[in-house]
Amino acid sequence: MVNTQFDYIVVGAGAAGCVVASRLSEEPSVRVLLIEAGGSDRSPIITMPGALSFVYQHRQIQWGYRSGPEPELGGRTIDEKTGRVLGGSTSINAMICNRGNPMDFDGWADDGLKDWDFAHCLPYFRKLETFADGPNPWRGGDGPMRISRCKASHKLYDTFLRGGEQAGFEVTPDHNGYRQEGLHVAQSFIHEGVRWSASRAYLRPVRQRGNLEVLNQTLVRRVVVEDGVATGVEVGDGALSRVITCEREVVLCAGAINTPQLLMLSGVGDPDQLRAHGIATVAEARAVGRNLQNHPGVDLQFATRREDSLVSELDALGQVKLGAEWILRRKGLGTTNFFETGAFLRTRSSVAFPNVQYEFLPLRRAVRGGKIVAVPGFQFWVDLSRPESRGSVTLRSSDPAEHPSIVFNHLAVRQDVVDLIDAIRLARRMTRQPAWESYRADEVVPGPDVESDADLERFLREKVGTSYHPSGTCRMGVDADAVVDGEARVRAVARLRIVDASIMPRVVTANLNAAVLMMAEKVSDLIRGKAALAPADAPYYRAPA
């Protein structure tokens, strides 16, 4: 390291950390240290969108978490992927770009977070992106994240949309614009054929700044808190660990699993739990690690003739072509994440927001010999947008290298089971429309015999998995129990902020990347003492009551 004196230490170079480090270091006199446990993200499998299934199986760039035992899922454990690499989870995610429903943010404001309503968040959503279709009152035209609309040229994508329309739903022209609800052609964090991670967008262009230091392959073990004030962090392994101090603030961006773990390792948490692990309490904050939310979901799979599925283009020759086209021209199937259509729908009229999300794949994924392979067919990933069940992240040990315990508690609340059963039935209804008639689409998972409520519930308890959207474990709020206040400051410790998925008070109706980037842009302005961007007045769609 060149510098040893810093104003800010940012922990974690994921979605939020890359934004915060980049924005804070725009001020040349401010010295910023960004610390990341993982290593370089310069790998073709990270860069090539079509290599997603290889990224998912690449253990070296992940933390390797498992949730569970899950009490409502027969004690199962669930593989919970989280990026441990520059870019964090944005370097391993599926690149789907969905912002969330405007009502999500208005809901946060209804709970007292007045400056987090949609009108205040929209200018930051616009600031973070360059949308390939051009700017408008909802979309940005000159931000670091490049977002493109998928081509969705395979015939099954169109069939998905037509089947949905025939089932009574509308195609929305831009689900990240005026209207989220409905069927849509997907948008992705992909530009000119490559993954547009937070690292690529925010970090790489500024790595040469003299006032920004990036320390990767370095584990932060705890935040150093002296007399109620965060003064630095302890990094490194056991006996070789050392303390790095900073003069202004420590900003935790370690994600919804690691941030609460770090707080607890630092003595900030529930005193009873800390005592059980021999950790002295420096600040009581009982809510740390609680309120864990996620989007629980399942795959629904249908078999088709090989020639009707995208898998027909992915035989050995097809894969060689895919690789060659991508390497030589950044074209072809290597440039897609394969999730090119989707939907946000309501299964009941008692909710104002779409309570279920569908991601459609024109091929079927199966596990053969321990590997994920594509087979003829298509599938829907069906998940709950705003589940009621809550889980927790707790310590297993005072050793920072040991994984915390993660329990999602999926399907603990009856309404979640009901909504997922209805979501499966709704997907089936869409596939029974005339648009699908010319395809031999036999349902293979869960299978046509799994029809009664009891059978579908059994299927769900056996198969429900994760959309990899842990959030809410260091909840932002105005009440005494909230971990951070509306400016993302840890209530119990001075000069310590958190911005990442952990501070979402309530998970958004979407994959989380865009919302986390937006929050990080907004909190960066707060840290810098800059005037917030003026609230927007763009309207948004509400379903008729």
Ligand X SMILES: Cc1cc2nc3c(=O)[nH]c(=O)nc-3n(C[C@H](O)[C@H](O)[C@H](O)COP(=O)(O)OP(=O)(O)OC[C@H]3O[C@@H](n4cnc5c(N)ncnc54)[C@H](O)[C@@H]3O)c2cc1C
Selected binder of ligand X within 152, 201, 262, 426 (CB under 6 A): 262
Q: What is the DSSP code string of 469-520?
A: --B-TT-B-SSTT-SB-TTSBBTTSBTEEE-SGGG-SS--SS-SHHHHHHHH
Paired sense of beta strands 296-303 and 442-445, if any: antiparallel
Q: How far is CA 354 from the centre of its chain?
A: 18
Structure tokens at 365: 């994924």
469 catalytic? Reply is yes
Report the b/e string of 333-369 with b at 16+ CB within 10 A: bbbbbbbbbbbbbbbeeebebbbbbbbbbbbbbbeee
Q: Is 268 in the site for ligand X (CB under 6 A)?
A: no
Cβ neighbours of residue 472 under 8 Å, at least 6 residues apart?
A: 256, 291, 292, 293, 390, 501, 502, 504, 505, 506, 507
Of 93 and 180, CB closest to ligand X: 93
Of 344 and 468, CB closest to ligand X: 468
Of 423 and 510, CB closest to ligand X: 510
SS3 254: coil
Q: Is 89 in the site for ligand X (CB under 6 A)?
A: yes
Selected binder of ligand X within 25, 31, 34, 38 (CB under 6 A): 38
Q: What is the DSSP letter of 83?
A: B
Of 17 and 163, CB closest to ligand X: 17
- Least distance from ligand X to the Cβ atom of residue 439, Å: 26
Q: Tell me the C-alpha distance between 63 and 241, whole Å.
A: 20
Of 81 and 154, CB closest to ligand X: 81
- Least distance from ligand X to the Cβ atom of residue 519, Å: 9
Q: What is the DSSP letter of 99?
A: -
Q: How far is CA 185 from the centre of its chain?
A: 19
CB-CB neighbours of 294 under 10 Å: 30
Q: Is 255 in the site for ligand X (CB under 6 A)?
A: yes
Of 300 and 499, CB closest to ligand X: 499
Of 31 and 81, CB closest to ligand X: 81
- Least distance from ligand X to the Cβ atom of residue 28, Å: 25
- Least distance from ligand X to the Cβ atom of residue 292, Å: 13
Selected binder of ligand X within 244, 254, 264, 288 (CB under 6 A): 254
Q: Is 409 in the site for ligand X (CB under 6 A)?
A: no
| Site string (159-188) toward ligand X, x via CB under 6 A | ------------------------------
- Least distance from ligand X to the Cβ atom of residue 472, Å: 11
Q: Which residue has the CB atom at the shortest distance from ligand X?
A: 14
Selected binder of ligand X within 8, 9, 10, 13 (CB under 6 A): 13
Q: Tell me the C-alpha distance between 17 and 382, whole Å.
A: 30
Selected binder of ligand X within 49, 50, 68, 83 (CB under 6 A): 83
Of 326 and 468, CB closest to ligand X: 468
- Least distance from ligand X to the Cβ atom of residue 359, Å: 8
C-beta of residue 216 within 8 angstroms of C-beta of residue 40: yes
Q: Is 144 in the site for ligand X (CB under 6 A)?
A: no
Burial zone of 74 (CB within 10 Å; 0-12 exposed, 13-18 middle, 19+ buried): exposed
Q: Is 469 in the site for ligand X (CB under 6 A)?
A: yes
C-beta of residue 449 within 8 angstroms of C-beta of residue 442: no
Structure tokens at 14: 């994921």
Structure tokens at 50: 């079509």
Selected binder of ligand X within 220, 230, 288, 426 (CB under 6 A): 220
Q: Is 90 in the site for ligand X (CB under 6 A)?
A: yes
Residues in the chain: 545
Q: Is 12 in the site for ligand X (CB under 6 A)?
A: yes
Burial zone of 54 (CB within 10 Å; 0-12 exposed, 13-18 middle, 19+ buried): middle
| Site string (497-526) toward ligand X, x via CB under 6 A | ---xx---------xxxx-x----------
Selected binder of ligand X within 22, 67, 93, 347 (CB under 6 A): 93
Q: Is 222 in the site for ligand X (CB under 6 A)?
A: no
- Least distance from ligand X to the Cβ atom of residue 67, Å: 13
- Half-sphere exposure in the Cβ direction for 249 (13 Å, CA): 24
C-beta of residue 465 within 8 angstroms of C-beta of residue 78: yes
SS3 33: strand
# binding residues, ligand X (CB under 6 A): 40
Stretch near ligand X under the rule CB under 6 A, chosen from 33-41, 112-120, 179-187, 315-323: 33-41
Q: Pick the catalytic residue from 120, 184, 191, 469.
A: 469
C-beta of residue 288 within 8 angstroms of C-beta of residue 504: no
Selected binder of ligand X within 9, 10, 16, 145 (CB under 6 A): 16
Stretch near ligand X under the rule CB under 6 A, chosen from 248-256, 280-288, 367-375, 390-398: 248-256
Give the residue among 40, 52, 127 at the shortest CA–CA distance from 87.
40
Q: Is 199 in the site for ligand X (CB under 6 A)?
A: no
Of 196 and 439, CB closest to ligand X: 196
- Least distance from ligand X to the Cβ atom of residue 414, Å: 27
CB-CB neighbours of 458 under 10 Å: 14
Of 38 and 107, CB closest to ligand X: 38
C-beta of residue 193 within 8 angstroms of C-beta of residue 222: no
H or E stretch at 123: helix 118-128
Across 132-195, the runs of DSSP E, i.e. the strands, are 145-149, 182-185, 187-188, 190-191, 194-195
Binding-site ranges for ligand X (CB under 6 A): 11-17, 35-38, 81-84, 88-90, 92-96, 219-220, 253-256, 258, 262, 468-469, 500-501, 511-514, 516
Which residue numbers are catalytic? 469
